[in-house]
Amino acid sequence: MVSSSQLRAVQYVREHGIPFLGLCWGMQIAVVEYARHVLGWQEANSTEVDQTTRYPVVDFIPNQRELLHEKGYGGTMRLGAYAAYLKPGTLIYSLYKESGRIDHDMRLPLPMERLGKPLNLPYVVERHRHRYEINPTFIKDLERAGIVFSGVHETMDGIPLMEFMELPDHPFFVATQAHPEFHSRFMEPSPVFMGFVRKALERRLHRTS
């Protein structure tokens, strides 16, 4: 559930310029916090927690609802590898480009349902294990308020799924709906982990110098 302590923690690091990296639920918490405290939608929530929320910024996407009705939970989870199309000029793009992951991942063989609708953008491949998504209904409002969704996967039936988000005016506020730890290795750590640790170290060195 979305706890007040989780929201306060995200709000604190966002407002004080402390590096933040959110994974899966962490991205959903970050969006709920932003909707409440920046957009002023105090009732914003995930329908996993509150099905009657006025602002369901995290929700099942339409075809997930159909699968849930027909099959129960088993058919609704987004599992495995999916392409995330990245926006050039964003922090996420620069992290993955620097690591060589874009060139590597774009050579991987993926079935069309995993690639999604081609968006004429560079992409990376990350693994997933979740049911809820950032609600497409609220994407434009969140973007107007300052969130940059720097990675997206669009399903073959045209549903946009937000894969990465960042705040360009923050030193390092990054979140992903994926689980990059599944691809991270000792000698080849995930670009988001490298970026997060590097920024945290820079901040510490700056504060102690």
* Domain ranges for the chain: 4-208
Average the pLDDT over 134-157 and give the result: 97
Q: What share of the chain has pLDDT > 90, as a percent? A: 79
Average the pLDDT over 20-36 and give the result: 98
Q: Residue 25 above 50 pLDDT?
A: yes
Q: Residue 138 above 50 pLDDT?
A: yes
Report helix, strand or coil for 174.
Answer: strand
Query: pTM score, two decimals?
Result: 0.92
Q: Residue 131 above 80 pLDDT?
A: yes
CA distances from 123 to 4, 71, 73, 87 (A): 35, 32, 29, 9
Average the pLDDT over 176-204 and give the result: 94
Strand order in the sheet with 44-46: 44-46, 55-59, 133-134
Of 84, 45, 103, 99, nearest to 165 by C-alpha is 84
In angstroms, the CA 93 to CA 44 distance is 29
Q: What angle do CA 130, 188, 192 make, to 5 degrees?
A: 50
Q: What pLDDT score does 208 carry?
A: 80
Q: What pLDDT score does 177 carry?
A: 98
Task: Give the CA radius of gyration of the chain.
Answer: 17
Residue 67 — pLDDT band, cuts 50, 70, 90?
low
Q: What are the catalytic residues?
A: 24, 179, 181
Residue 79 — pLDDT band, cuts 50, 70, 90?
confident
Average pLDDT, the chain: 93
Whose structure tokens read 């973007």? 143
* CATH T-level topology, domain 4-208: Rossmann fold (3.40.50)
37-54 confidence digits (pLDDT tens): 999 999 999 999 999 999
Q: Are 132 and 126 in contact (CB under 8 A)?
A: no
Q: Residue 68 above 50 pLDDT?
A: no
Q: What pLDDT score does 75 carry?
A: 63
